[in-house]
Structure 1
Amino acid sequence: MIDPQLLRENPQLFRDSQAARGDSVDLVDAALAADEKRRSAITESESLRATQKTLGKQVAQAAGDEKAQLLQQAQQLAARVKDLAQQATDAEAEFAKTAGAIANPIIPGVPSGGEENFVTLREVGEKPTFDFEPRDHLELGEKLRAIDMVRGAKVSGSRFYFLRGVGARLEIALMNLALDTALANGFEPLITPTLVKPEIMAGTGFLGEHSDEIYYLPADDLYLTGTSEVALAGFHSDEILDLEGGSKRYAGWSTCYRREAGSGGKDTRGILRVHQFNKLEMFSYVLPENAEAEHLALVSFQEQMMQDLGLSYRVIDTAAGDLGSSAARKYDIEAWIPTQDAYRELTSTSNCTTFQARRLDTRYRTESGKTAPVATLNGTLATTRWIVAILETHQQADGSVIVPEVLRPYLNGVERIEAT
């Protein structure tokens, strides 16, 4: 939910943000009108209640015809108060619906436009070159008996897979490396629920325009999460946090599920775009004034992982129209995939400012003793998709793959993955 006071004080901020996202600017004026109607009904209702209270005292002191006349006025006033109370309730619902459709206002400097309008901030690492025809990750994975798409489809359908043998070990090694990185940077590890209540899913902003990508279990009224961000955001819902000692950082390890609705025909080969995968997600609760610094910190942890794994990558400032409703700014890190001759997203990290916390009622206590919403941020530290870049980047002419040195301790010292 957006800040109603900020909306009243600076509606142009929201108009500009909506325009940059390619969303409806008219929603802002509709929300302002609904807010005015809501506040007017509440003010008038409170005024009439005060009048009603005064009249009640007069009735108690009156007698005869005067009392009968005052009683009639009291009845009429009571009906009017009831009517205004309903108007206020209706106006509140209208405002909540309209304001709830407005996305989090973007942070100044976020590029306008859609998916293709991102800004490249930096490119890091030398793109791999080969003196042989490189194999793609699926061919490598099948040759190394690490990925089995055929049996995945047999068991569960398209876009499912088995990681087997060294493939399973490689993912566990990658996730453990990420976990150690998180621990070294003050994150508390959590293994999170992957089924959440509707109010938690809605609170994170995932039940908007992309709700068709989420698996829903109607018999249980629960949603399967596509990221542990959802459960981590709900972890402190309806709580007042003590952030005087710094941010609260959590690293959520979970299996994730995505329907990939609308992506028919895209990335169907291999494990780049699948329905189920594992992920370690960073999540931070911070004071709002510290959110942008925390955002850069999360990106630095992701970049360290990329560099340690020997991957060539770029960092992009995602355009407003590709942010999602909760994010005020999002940085993506895309690794170079040799056989696609392109960068592909491996991580993203978002600054959601106070948007999610308002919905989930997660607050901190200010110096004045009042409470205010915290800021929340999230970012991927490792996921199954990274195997794509690792296999393709470090492949050898004979189809073997050199294991990045940083992963070897998690694989009992294995230096090269070879076909068996």
Structure 2
Amino acid sequence: MIDLRTLREDPDRLRASQRARGEDDSVVEKLLDLDERRRGALSRFEALRAEQKSIGKSVSRASGEEKTALLDRAKDLSAQVKSAEAEAEKLAGELEELLHTVPNLVEEGAPEGGEDDYVVLEEVGEKPSFDFEPRDHLELGELLGAIDMERGAKVSGARFFFLKGAGARLQLGLLNMAMQHAIEAGFIPMIPPVLVKPESMKGTGFLGAHASEVYHLPEEDLFLVGTSEVPMAAYHADEILDGAALPYRYAGWSSCFRREAGSYGKDTRGIIRVHQFDKIEMFSYCRPEDAQAEHRRLLDWEREMLAKVELPYRIIDTAAGDLGTSAARKFDCEAWVPSQGRYRELTSTSNCTDFQARRLGVRYRDAGGKPQHVATLNGTLATTRWIVAILENHQRADGSVVVPEALRPYVGLDVLEPAK
């Protein structure tokens, strides 16, 4: 949720942010109008309440006609106070409801435009060249006995799959290596719940524009998470953190669930776009003034993981119109996928500034002891999708796949051989 003080002091900043995202900037006038009316109603309520208290004290000292007049005025004020309070509460509710529809302020320097208007910041590593026709990850996965899409569909439906044998070992090894990488960087490992309450999902910004992507269990009124960012952001909801101990850094290992609504016909082959996958997610709480530097640190930890699995990749600065509701800035690392001849997203890291913290009530005490909202950031260290890039970039002509050296102790194999 954006800061009302920022809105009042610099409404043009929100107008520019909305335009950069391709959103309606007229919401600024609606917010300012509601805020002004709410503050006016609150001032009226407080003035009437003060007069009511003053008359209440005078009644005990008055007598005769004066007392009768004061009692009549007190009765009249009581009705006015109730009316003013109801009006202030009504306007406050309308303002909060509208605020929850407004995405975060885009960070200065983020590219404007939509999905295709990203800026490539860097390309890292050499794309592999093969003296044979490279297979795609699904063909390799089937040769290795590692991926079973057919039985996944039989058991659960489209976009579900089984990882088995070498596939299961590869994923477990990858995620264990990522978690160890996070621990060595100072993150606290965490296995969070994957079902969360509506206030947790709403607080992190996933029940607005992204609501169609989320699985909902109506009888329990719980949501399956699409990322462990959600439970880790809500972990400190309604708490005041130790400012001297910031940043707080957590690394969550969880299964993630996405409906993939609107993706009909996209990436139907293999495990690139699926309903269930596993992920290691970094999450950081820090002071707002430290958030940009922390964002770069998260990106560097992602780069280190990609180097460990020896993948060619590029880093893109995501355009404002392709940012999630909570993100002010997002960097994606996209690995080269030989069978597609293009880069595909493997990781992303987002700076959510104090947007989520305002919704969730996460604060810290500054040097003067005053509570302030923290900034929250997230970044991916490994997911099931990494298997796609690892298989395709490290394949050999016979269908075997060389396991990256740093990953071998975690997988227990140097080479994944075709199943017999």
Give 3-state SS (helix, strand or coil) of 2:267's partner: coil
- Give how far 1:284 is off: 0.5
**1:169-180 paired onto structure 2 within 5 Å:** 169-180=169-180
Which deviates the most, 30-39 or 242-251?
A: 242-251
The aligned counterpart of 1:162 is 162
The aligned counterpart of 2:118 is 118
The aligned counterpart of 1:127 is 127
Give 3-state SS (helix, strand or coil) of 1:61's partner: coil
- Give how far 1:66 is off: 2.5
**1:143-222 paired onto structure 2 within 5 Å:** 143-222=143-222
- Give how far 1:50 is off: 1.0
- Give how far 1:416 is off: 4.1
The aligned counterpart of 1:57 is 57
Aligned amino acid, residue 197 of structure 1:
K
Give 3-state SS (helix, strand or coil) of 1:176's partner: helix
The aligned counterpart of 1:353 is 353
Matched, 1:287 2:287: yes
C-alpha separation between the residues in 2 aligned to 1:244 and 1:75? 52
Give 3-state SS (helix, strand or coil) of 1:193's partner: coil
The aligned counterpart of 2:342 is 342
C-alpha separation between the residues in 1 aligned to 2:403 and 2:171? 12
C-alpha separation between the residues in 1 aligned to 2:416 and 2:321? 42
- Give how far 1:100 is off: 1.7
- Give how far 1:72 is off: 1.5
- Give how far 1:92 is off: 0.2
Aligned amino acid, residue 401 of structure 2:
V
C-alpha separation between the residues in 2 aligned to 1:414 and 1:127? 21
- Give how far 1:151 is off: 0.2
The aligned counterpart of 1:318 is 318
Aligned amino acid, residue 344 of structure 1:
R
C-alpha separation between the residues in 1 aligned to 2:15 and 2:81? 35
Which deviates the most, 159-168 or 51-60?
A: 51-60
Give 3-state SS (helix, strand or coil) of 2:333's partner: strand
Q: Percent identity?
A: 59
C-alpha separation between the residues in 2 aligned to 1:158 and 1:370? 52
C-alpha separation between the residues in 2 aligned to 1:327 and 1:97? 19
CA contact (8 A) 1:226 1:258 kept: yes
The aligned counterpart of 1:415 is 415
The aligned counterpart of 2:258 is 258
- Give how far 1:219 is off: 0.6
The aligned counterpart of 1:90 is 90
Aligned amino acid, residue 403 of structure 1:
V
C-alpha separation between the residues in 1 aligned to 2:5 and 2:25? 18
CA contact (8 A) 1:405 1:415 kept: no
Gaps of 5+ in 1: none
C-alpha separation between the residues in 1 aligned to 2:308 and 2:67? 86
C-alpha separation between the residues in 2 aligned to 1:249 and 1:227? 16
Matched, 1:367 2:367: yes
Aligned amino acid, residue 159 of structure 1:
R
CA contact (8 A) 2:243 2:366 kept: no
Deviations 1:194-235 (A, max 9, x none): 000110111000000110110000110100000000010011
C-alpha separation between the residues in 2 aligned to 1:52 and 1:410? 72
- Give how far 1:61 is off: 2.2
Aligned amino acid, residue 419 of structure 1:
A
C-alpha separation between the residues in 1 aligned to 2:183 and 2:232? 16
Deviations 1:222-253 (A, max 9, x none): 00000000010011111111132441110000
Aligned amino acid, residue 72 of structure 1:
D
C-alpha separation between the residues in 2 aligned to 1:111 and 1:243? 32
- Give how far 1:141 is off: 0.3
C-alpha separation between the residues in 1 aligned to 2:349 and 2:174? 19
Give 3-state SS (helix, strand or coil) of 1:336's partner: strand
C-alpha separation between the residues in 2 aligned to 1:67 and 1:176? 78
Aligned amino acid, residue 370 of structure 2:
K
Deviations 1:275-319 (A, max 9, x none): 000000000011111111111011111111111211110000000
Gaps of 5+ in 2: none
The aligned counterpart of 1:332 is 332
- Give how far 1:94 is off: 1.1
Give 3-state SS (helix, strand or coil) of 2:79's partner: helix
- Give how far 1:51 is off: 1.0
Give 3-state SS (helix, strand or coil) of 2:250's partner: strand
Aligned amino acid, residue 23 of structure 2:
D
Pairwise CA RMSD: 1.0
Using structure 1 for the length normalisation, give the TM-score: 0.98
